[in-house]
Structure 1
Amino acid sequence: MASYNKILLCYDGTREGRKALRCGADLALDLKAETHLLSVVDMRTSIAQSAGLLTDVACGRFEDAAREILQEGVDWLAERGVSAHGHFAFGHPIDEIARLAADLKVDLVVVGHRTRSGLSRWWMGSGNTLLLDRVSCSILVAVSAAHEQEPVAAVPAQAGAGAGTES
């Protein structure tokens, strides 16, 4: 197995993000890797969803929510014995993940995957550059099953490398 000494976990509070967090935590514990956790506020999507009518107050609430999600992830990792450095960014998630991965020189990026419907694929278009094309490290894509819908806090805390995994 490749040696992963520095891991970047990407967490947004979604079911897919929680799966990536659990998988990343297990790897970090098993490999005793330096661990970083990233939460990104994608203002472009938020502005588009609000038809461009976001107020400063609404923008502040998006930031507060994202910072809470980041802290939730850092705390959850700490409860399982993983010391993670939290990082917060504004921008397009793929851009920010690629930027931080390069800045930190990580060996592995862990992300969750959300399957998109045909309409969503059409709406998103082909303008989004794949993360695979933007980083020079390995990527682990955690795919969650429908039964993995519980919040991070509801996953039972266990000691050791198997903490938080679900089958």
Structure 2
Amino acid sequence: MSGFKRILLCYDGTREGQHALKDGAALAQDLKAEVHLLSVLNNTAWMQGADITSAVPVDFINESAKALLDEGLQKLAARGIRATGHLAIGEPLDEIPFFANDLKADLVVVGHRRSHGLARWWGGRHDGLLLDRVTCSVLVTMGAAADAPAAVAGTGETARSAEHS
């Protein structure tokens, strides 16, 4: 693992993003790696609802995205990690590989969303996989075991109930 000198942490503020940030930060500290933090404002959703979002000032959207990036940078700083922040607007499945390749990252850290078949980082409108788009290693964090759905350890009835809630 000592080959990981430059790590790209992907942070979107979700619980999964929090786990990716925490786990990636711990790994970066252990390896004394250079850290880059990427927050991607996924414009797909707000572009599809252009009528609604046209009423939302662009400055507000940009400020919200910047605040998210700053939040991640502050969390890293609290752990003693100096990171370079990057903000992108677009499809995460496009932006993550772009930044990973541009920064020559050795490792990309993303969070996995258990409630969906594939996390937002893994799939998207192109139905492609993040793994097919990067030339470096990818660490997918799963979060704490307490976050796992009850259906994993439960009965079939629990699994059906969880699917319908």
TM-score with structure 2 length normalisation? 0.78
In structure 2, C-alpha distance between the alignment counterparts of 1:145 and 1:127, rounded to whole Å: 30
2:158 equivalent to 1:131: no
Gaps of 5+ in 2: 148-165
2:92 paired residue number: 93
1:60 paired residue number: 59
Cα deviations by residue, 1:1-59 (Å, 9 ceiling, x for unpaired): 351000000000000000000001001100000000000111112233x3643216344
TM-score with structure 1 length normalisation? 0.77
In structure 2, C-alpha distance between the alignment counterparts of 1:32 and 1:46, rounded to whole Å: 38
SS at match of 1:90: strand
2:114 equivalent to 1:115: yes
In structure 1, C-alpha distance between the alignment counterparts of 2:24 and 2:63, rounded to whole Å: 24
> Segments of 4+ in structure 1 off by > 6 A?
none
Q: How many percent of aligned residue pairs carry the same amino acid? A: 51
How many residue pairs match? The answer is 144
In 2 relative to 1, CA 51–147 (structure 1 residues): closer, same or farther, beyond 3 Å?
A: farther
1:7 paired residue number: 7
SS at match of 1:57: coil
Cα deviations by residue, 1:112-164 (Å, 9 ceiling, x for unpaired): 0113447x99xx8773211000000000001124746xxxxxxxxxxxxxxxx
In structure 1, C-alpha distance between the alignment counterparts of 2:133 and 2:40, rounded to whole Å: 17
Q: Is the 8 A contact 1:12 1:66 kept in 2?
A: no
In structure 1, C-alpha distance between the alignment counterparts of 2:82 and 2:74, rounded to whole Å: 9
Q: Larger deviation: 125-134 or 79-88?
A: 125-134
Larger of the two Rg values belongs to structure? 2
SS at match of 2:128: coil
Q: Is the 8 A contact 2:93 2:124 kept in 1?
A: no
